[in-house]
Amino acid sequence: MHLYSEQRGDYLLIRAAGDRIDAAGAIQFKDAMRELTQTADARVLLDMSKVAFLDSSGLGAVIAAMKAIGPGRKLELSGLTPTVEKVFRLTRMDSVFTIHASLPESQSEGLRNAV
């Protein structure tokens, strides 16, 4: 799972480039998220529009990533594909995360970091 990050106005945008966050990739995802978010601003937005599949290990990794960025900061999600949305909805995690249908409009400042 490759993650790409860029600064967009007042938030850090992280794009998940792989098509799945599953048991085989959950730890790698968690580690890469931690690395990208350790110096980030208050808002972190994870774009999941390329992620077609997420299992419970992947869900756990997204939750762990939110906890790791700390109580004073927020992990928001964007572009959930239907199967991923189903996992969030059934487990009621859609009530815990702020979920955007698509990326907010903002001026891109280009790639800042990549893991």
Site residues (vs another protein, CB under 8 A) = 20, 22-24, 53, 55-57, 59-61, 63-64, 66-67, 82-83, 86-87, 90-92, 95-96
Q: Closer to another protein at the Cβ: 23 or 114?
A: 23
Token pair, residue 48, equals: 């999941």
Q: How far is the CB of 90 from another protein (least distance, A)?
A: 6
Q: How far is the CB of 113 from another protein (least distance, A)?
A: 25
Contacts of 86 (CB under 8 A, 6+ apart): none
Do 41 and 11 touch, CB atoms closer than 8 A?
yes
- d(CA 99, CA 105) in angstroms, rounded, equals 15
Q: Closer to another protein at the Cβ: 24 or 114?
A: 24
